[in-house]
Every structure is written in C-alpha cells, then in structure tokens.
Amino acid sequence: MNPGHGHGNKISRQQEQTIAALLSHGTIKAAAARCGISESTLRRWMRLANFKAAYESARANILTRVSGELQNGALEAVLLLKEIARDANSPVPSRVTAARCVLEFALQLDQFHTMQARLAQLEAARAQEQQVPPREALAGMIAELFRRDRAFREATETAIRKVETEHEKATVV
C-alpha cells in the first residue's frame, strides 16, 4: 500500500515525521532532506488531501499555541510599559516611548474590536439575506478608522507635548 492512500484519513509515520520537519525547518527542501525523501515525493504528498489536511491541522495547532503564549505575555508587556511610563526616575525619552506604545496598542486593539464587530454585523445581515452594499459598509468602516486614527494621533501628540513641557520645566527649576 502506498503512503497516503488506502482507508480513512490516516497518514504514514514517515509522513507524520515529514509534517513535523516541514513545520520546524520551514522549506520543502530542508524537510525532505531531514526525512531522507526526495523533494518530488514531498511535493506529491502535499497534493494528497489527507496529507494536506494533517499538515494544515498541525500548523493550525502550532499557531493556536503560539497565539496563546503571545496573549499570556501581552499583559506582562503592557504592565512593564505602564511601569516605565510612570517611573519618574526613567529617562523622559523612555517614558514617552513607553506611553506611546501603550497608546498605539490600545488604538490597534480598539480598531481590531471595531472591525470584528462590523464584520459580525455584515455577516449577520448577509445571513438574514439583507442587502448591505459592501462599498458603503467598507467606506464607513474606513472613514471611522481614519477618524479614530486622527484623534489618537492628536491625543498622542498632546500627551507627548505635555510630557516634554513638564520635563523642560523640571530641568529649568
């Protein structure tokens, strides 16, 4: 029986090892060399539905784990940035940079949630077979994002000017 053919969605042990090599080595050439198979064999396997499904599943599992680790570290990173921004003993450029990072991340998160909500609205409207003109919906989302971005940049510049002014006053006194 040929690997990747036969009953069910099973793949061979060698194909499982090849998927692991693909995920860890990043290229077909490197993965094939690591597993002792030819590149053409690996390319042929990648066209098989069961191999492709197993590869995509393994890749999705890794991305889910990486995403979880990033989310776990995000809180620590934000707390550190906030600590630096508040620390009067930190150099002003470090404090301004930390504050700017916190503000930028907050804006990006807000934009993500706004887009997510708008997408959910559009999907719900489509599911109910309501006609929502895509151009108008996208134009509205883009206009809102530009408005929020402009407001955020203005607020950031104001905050930076305030910190710089306070720093100048502190160095004059």
pLDDT, one tens digit per residue, over 94-106 is 888 888 888 888 8
Beta-strand ranges (E) seen in the chain are none
Question: Distance between the two ends of the chain, CA-based, in angstroms?
Answer: 85
Does position 6 have pLDDT exceeding 70, yes or no? no
CB contact set of 99 (below 8 Å; sequence gap of 6+): 81, 85, 159, 160, 163
Average pLDDT over residues 18-47: 94
C-alpha to C-alpha distance for 43 and 126, rounded to whole angstroms: 39
Fold of 1-86: Arc Repressor Mutant, subunit A (1.10.10)
pTM recorded for the entire structure: 0.46
- The fraction of the chain above a pLDDT of 70, given in percent, is 88
Most confident of the following: 39-43, 68-72, 113-117, 129-133:
39-43
Residue 88's Cβ-side half-sphere holds a number of Cα atoms within 13 Å equal to 2
- Residue 3: the pLDDT is 44
- Residue 7: the pLDDT is 47
- Residue 129: the pLDDT is 59
Does position 8 have pLDDT exceeding 60, yes or no? no
Residue 130: pLDDT band (50, 70, 90) is: low
Instruction: Give me the amino acid identity at 114.
Output: T
Average pLDDT over residues 15-22: 94
- Residue 133: the pLDDT is 59
Structure tokens given for 81: 């940035």
Say how far residue 55 (Cα) sits from the centre of its chain. 20
Query: Which has the closest alpha carbon to 78: 110, 103, 96?
Result: 103
Higher pLDDT, 137 or 98: 98
CB contact set of 173 (below 8 Å; sequence gap of 6+): none
